[in-house]
């Protein structure tokens, strides 16, 4: 039997089928062409991805789960037809909405952000369109509805930024009192089977009618699941343009001034934060080819002790909260490889301080770090980071969100 995970990311969508051993059996990709008619495009992507999979696998699919981008939301009527274009993860509401947020939700709550799902609900209230809506759904909820036909269902990863209380597994009183509370989805654990695929979809795609459609997750949590990290103290550092840390902890930690919050993760908590340092600063000075060549010249056993703070522009939130933090990139040694070593060491120091900050706030001590993103392939950096972090560091065997969502479909979260 097989399990299908589908990732809806920022530039395209992707499907991965795994077997009982989590071995990949098939995959398909779809690139979004433009930003018009988003929901039509999502529907087309979903159907094309499924159709591109081998029929022999489709006939034996046991479960399907879908992840979307966090805080990408839409309003639907009573039969699930979208009433507006969705508001994407990146959409930021106005200052007026931010002021409303502070009146309604507790200070320091994760919804207190211009792009949170709850801020988007307030935006639609302001626009007057909400009175026609029967359902407020996340991208992943709506896509799953296309397969199981159930409206008003979500998961606690997508619902975190809507204001769902993931500690007590209920909506909080301030949200229950909100005038449009009735259109919010019922929330389940990610990867919970909700219903069998509809007869129409089963016939259309030759999928077994017994196939269960599960609740989904968000793209970044799906990528975390893909890494294989699943024990307390295991973490994934993503070194792409910026530096993002995620650590599995026995208790939740939150510190909004540092942008730190926690997702529920079965019986554990997935906590983390994001720094403005990262690969984009390296790219300011070196091409990827130069990064590769210069790294080979670095002797990681001889630290430079150059104490940089690599940033593109002033301002940092995590691990230090200082909107005026200046980039520090001098003194620059004559040798380019030494300069690069200083940059790599400094980013490793910031990563270490990030994990220290999480632990200071009560997170489980760090035991092992997987690495994702463009920086993961640099072996010298891995050695440097091991010296700073004092735990084993290795590349994530897989960073594909669709693969993580296929694992979620197979195993759930607990």
Q: Can you read off the two tokens belonging to residue 104? A: 């309604």
Q: Is 288 in the site for ligand ADP (CB under 6 A)?
A: yes
Q: Is 373 in the site for ligand ADP (CB under 6 A)?
A: yes
**From 92, 134, 283, 367, residue interacting with ligand ADP (rule: CB under 6 A):** 283
H or E stretch at 148: helix 139-148
Residue with token string 């699930």: 80
Q: Is 241 in the site for ligand ADP (CB under 6 A)?
A: yes
Task: Indicate the residue whose CB is closest to ligand ADP.
Answer: 374
Nearer to ligand ADP, 291 or 358 (CB): 291
Size of interface with ligand ADP, in residues (CB under 6 A):
16
Q: Is 310 in the site for ligand ADP (CB under 6 A)?
A: no
CA–CA dist 62, 196 (Å, integer): 10
Work out whether the CA dihedral 74, 80, 85, 90 comes out positive or negative.
positive
Distances (CA, A) of 1 to 16, 20, 29, 47, 222: 14, 7, 22, 21, 21
DSSP assignment letter at 296? H
Nearer to ligand ADP, 215 or 277 (CB): 277
Q: Is 233 in the site for ligand ADP (CB under 6 A)?
A: no
Q: Is 240 in the site for ligand ADP (CB under 6 A)?
A: yes
Q: Is 383 in the site for ligand ADP (CB under 6 A)?
A: no
Residue with token string 């993860």: 89
Least Å from the CB of residue 258 to ligand ADP: 20
Q: Is 377 in the site for ligand ADP (CB under 6 A)?
A: yes
Q: Is 395 in the site for ligand ADP (CB under 6 A)?
A: no
Helix (H, G, I), strand (E, B) or coil at 371: strand
Which of 120-128, 218-226, 285-293, 347-355 is the region at the interface with ligand ADP (rule: CB under 6 A)? 285-293
Q: Can you read off the two tokens belonging to residue 15? A: 């499907």
Contact 214, 169 (CB under 8 A): no
Nearer to ligand ADP, 292 or 328 (CB): 292
Which of 50-58, 136-144, 249-257, 377-385 is the region at the interface with ligand ADP (rule: CB under 6 A)? 377-385
Which of 162-170, 176-184, 287-295, 317-325 is the region at the interface with ligand ADP (rule: CB under 6 A)? 287-295
Burial code (b: 16+ CB inside 10 Å, e: under 16) for 234-250 equals bbbbbbebbbbbbbbbe
Count CB-CB contacts under 10 A for residue 341.
Answer: 25
Which of 55-63, 98-106, 110-118, 275-283 is the region at the interface with ligand ADP (rule: CB under 6 A)? 275-283
Least Å from the CB of residue 292 to ligand ADP: 5
**From 230, 280, 359, 387, residue interacting with ligand ADP (rule: CB under 6 A):** 280
| Exposure on the CB side of residue 325, measured as CA atoms within 13 A | 20
Nearer to ligand ADP, 176 or 292 (CB): 292
* Residue among 253, 246, 216 at smallest CA distance from 408: 216
DSSP letters, 167-217, are TTTB--HHHHTSTTGGGSPEEE-TT-EEEEPPHHHHHHHT--TTPEEE--E
Least Å from the CB of residue 296 to ligand ADP: 10
Helix (H, G, I), strand (E, B) or coil at 289: helix
Nearer to ligand ADP, 10 or 132 (CB): 10
Q: Is 378 in the site for ligand ADP (CB under 6 A)?
A: yes
Site string for ligand ADP, 109-138 (x = CB under 6 A): ------------------------------
Contact 408, 191 (CB under 8 A): yes
Cis, bond preceding 331 (omega within 30 deg of 0): yes
Nearer to ligand ADP, 43 or 283 (CB): 283
Nearer to ligand ADP, 97 or 291 (CB): 291
Report residue 339: phi and psi, to 5°: -60, -45
Nearer to ligand ADP, 205 or 381 (CB): 381
Which of 280-288, 315-323, 328-336, 353-361 is the region at the interface with ligand ADP (rule: CB under 6 A)? 280-288
Which of 99-107, 131-139, 278-286, 322-330 is the region at the interface with ligand ADP (rule: CB under 6 A)? 278-286
Distances (CA, A) of 273 to 113, 161, 354: 15, 15, 8
Binding positions for ligand ADP, rule: CB under 6 A? 240-241, 279-280, 282-283, 288, 291-292, 295, 373-375, 377-378, 381
């Amino acid at each position: 039997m097989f399990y299908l995970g589908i990732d809806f990311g920022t530039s395209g969508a992707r499907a991965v089928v795994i077997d009982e051993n989590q071995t990949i059996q098939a995959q398909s990709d779809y690139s979004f062409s433009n930003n018009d008619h988003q929901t039509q495009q999502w529907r087309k992507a979903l159907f094309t991805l499924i159709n591109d999979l081998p029929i022999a696998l489709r006939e034996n699919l046991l479960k399907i789960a879908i992840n979307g981008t966090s805080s990408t939301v839409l309003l639907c009527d009573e039969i699930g037809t979208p009433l507006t274009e969705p508001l994407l993860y990146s959409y930021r509401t106005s200052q007026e909405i931010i002021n409303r947020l502070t009146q309604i939700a507790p200070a320091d709550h994760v919804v207190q952000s211009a792009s949170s799902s709850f801020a988007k609900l307030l935006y639609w209230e302001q626009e007057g369109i909400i009175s026609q809506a029967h359902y407020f759904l996340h991208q992943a909820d709506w896509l799953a509805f296309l397969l199981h036909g159930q409206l008003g269902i979500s998961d606690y990863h997508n619902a975190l930024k809507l204001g769902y209380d993931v500690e007590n597994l209920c909506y909080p009183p301030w949200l229950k009192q909100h005038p449009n509370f009735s259109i919010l989805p019922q929330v389940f654990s990610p990867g919970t089977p909700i219903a069998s695929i509809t007869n129409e979809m089963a016939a259309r795609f030759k999928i077994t009618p017994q196939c269960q459609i599960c609740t989904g997750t968000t793209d970044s949590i799906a990528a975390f699941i893909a890494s294989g990290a699943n024990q307390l103290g295991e973490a994934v550092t993503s070194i792409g343009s910026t530096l993002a840390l995620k650590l599995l902890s026995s208790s939740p930690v939150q510190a909004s001034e540092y942008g730190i919050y926690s997702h529920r993760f079965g019986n554990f908590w997935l906590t983390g934060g994001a720094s403005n340092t990262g690969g984009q600063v390296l790219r300011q000075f070196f091409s990827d080819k130069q990064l590769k060549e210069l790294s080979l010249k670095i002797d990681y056993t001889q630290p430079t002790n150059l104490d940089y703070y690599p940033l593109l522009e002033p301002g940092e939130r995590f691990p230090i909260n200082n909107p005026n933090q200046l980039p520090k990139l001098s003194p620059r040694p004559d040798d380019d490889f030494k300069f690069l070593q200083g940059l790599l060491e400094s980013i490793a120091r910031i990563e270490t301080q990030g994990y220290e900050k999480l632990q200071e706030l009560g997170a489980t001590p760090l035991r092992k770090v997987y690495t994702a993103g463009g920086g993961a392939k640099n072996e010298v950096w891995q050695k440097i980071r091991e010296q700073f972090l004092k735990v084993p560091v290795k590349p994530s065997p897989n960073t594909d969100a669709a693969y993580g969502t296929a694992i979620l479909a197979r195993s759930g979260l607990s």
